[in-house]
């Protein structure tokens, strides 16, 4: 697996192939990282169309990075049952 800078993947649109939902862009989400390796562990995305930072009590989902299926220039596709 090739290494990428975080700035190189911030504009990827998040799509869950399990339910067909779009969760916005990776740059609009929060992420958790491994302290030892710096690798992404989870993506924390809003289930609503509003931004995660909009001070609303929206439901958020925590998508494990290990459920990532594919990544292209414009999208990142996960298969995660919610």
> For residues 23 and 46, is the Cβ–Cβ distance under 8 A?
yes
Average pLDDT of the chain to the nearest whole number: 86
- The model's pLDDT over 29-81, given as tens digits with 9 standing for 90+, comes to 999 999 999 999 999 998 765 444 554 556 889 999 999 999 999 999 999 99
- Beta strands 75-78; 68-71: pairing state: antiparallel
Compute the residue count for the chain.
Answer: 82
């Amino acid at each position: 697996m090739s290494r990428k800078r975080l700035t190189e993947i911030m504009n990827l649109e998040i799509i869950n192939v399990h339910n067909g939902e779009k969760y916005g862009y990776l740059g609009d989400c929060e992420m958790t990282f491994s302290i030892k390796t710096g690798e992404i562990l989870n993506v924390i995305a809003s289930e609503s169309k509003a931004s995660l930072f909009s001070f609303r009590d929206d439901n958020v989902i925590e998508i494990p990075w290990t459920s990532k299926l594919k990544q292209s220039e414009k999208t990142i596709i996960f298969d995660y049952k919610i």
